[in-house]
Amino acid sequence: MERTSRRIRIGLRAHCASEAVWAVLSDTRLWPKWGPSITHVAIDGTDVVVHKGMRGRVRTVVGWTLPFAIDDVEPGMSWSWRVAGVKATGHEVIPDGMQGAWIVFTMPVWALCYAPVCLWAARKITLLAHAPRFQA
């Protein structure tokens, strides 16, 4: 875990290609499969892959439906968003040069208690990225 300017970075190494990790992380249809706090995603438009300016709604495990907006995207590498207008988690894929990649989440310091949820999500992303459809 690393702390930088009021944000915390936490992640784990996935033993699969960064392209497969990105495919899982960036496809909004898969968010409920790896994001333990999300049960449903509805996007405005038809493009299901994250892109700057994308908007939609997420339903949370407590039943709230909240609007989201994607702030920034570096294709194949990272994306960040706002949920209900609040800057939320950042998501990064960092190739490790050894056939694997780091899955890294950034979050505000005040959301430190969310770190275990992010690690759980990273494990789920890794499992999904190992699916045959994501292998080259």
* 91: pLDDT strictly greater than 80: yes
Domains of the chain, first to last: 2-131 (3.30.530.20)
Q: Cα–Cα distance between 11 and 96 in angstroms, integer?
A: 13
Q: Cα–Cα distance between 107 and 118 in angstroms, integer?
A: 9
**pLDDT band at 131; cut points 50, 70, 90:** confident
User: Mean pLDDT of all residues in the chain?
Assistant: 94
**pLDDT band at 4; cut points 50, 70, 90:** low
pLDDT of residue 65: 99
Claim: this prediction has a pTM higher than 0.75: yes
Q: Cα–Cα distance between 5 and 97 in angstroms, integer?
A: 27
pLDDT of residue 135: 67
